[in-house]
Amino acid sequence: MIEDCKFIEFPQKGDERGHLVIIEGNQDIPFDIKRVFYIYGSDREVIRGRHANYNSEFVLINVSGTSKVKVDDGTSQKIFNLDRPHVGIYLPKLVWKDMYDFSEDSVLLCLSSEHYDAGEYIRDYDRYLTVMKEEKHVKTP
């Protein structure tokens, strides 16, 4: 599952007036966008996220400043540095995510495949590990 977490580079258009980045659901990212939110005003010591989702997929893009995202599938971890406004990371469902090390000017844009539903969040890491063990057991013949 951790191998499914990957960078996505979005096309840039621009001229002397500046840059334009276009992101379309089911074209530039692998899902229809149902929710958009962003995080700003966090500092380097703050850790956001700390959860996994049963159903939601995400694309995270630092449209301003920088941040890091640590992803975890219960067996492996990977850290992504978000530092370019035309590059995001795709996170499939059931990936634990921690966003941290925010620069002062960081604005982290989050595109989601699902509308908000508090019931689909796994916020306890031990519970997440249990869910992942159950998921792997189901997939094993």
pLDDT band at 136, cuts 50/70/90? confident
86 is catalytic: no
pLDDT in tens, 30-63: 999 999 999 999 999 999 999 999 999 999 999 9
pTM of the model: 0.92
- For residue 140, the model assigns a pLDDT of 43
Cβ proximity of 97 and 130 under 8 Å: no
The length of the chain in residues reads 141
- For residue 17, the model assigns a pLDDT of 94
Residue 89 burial (C-beta neighbours within 10 Å; 0-12, 13-18, 19+): buried
CATH hierarchy code of domain 2-139: 2.60.120.10
Residue 23 burial (C-beta neighbours within 10 Å; 0-12, 13-18, 19+): middle
Do β-strands 58-64 and 107-112 pair in parallel, antiparallel, or remain unpaired?
antiparallel
Is pLDDT of 137 > 90? no
Q: Which of the residues 51, 86, 115, 137 is marked catalytic? A: 51
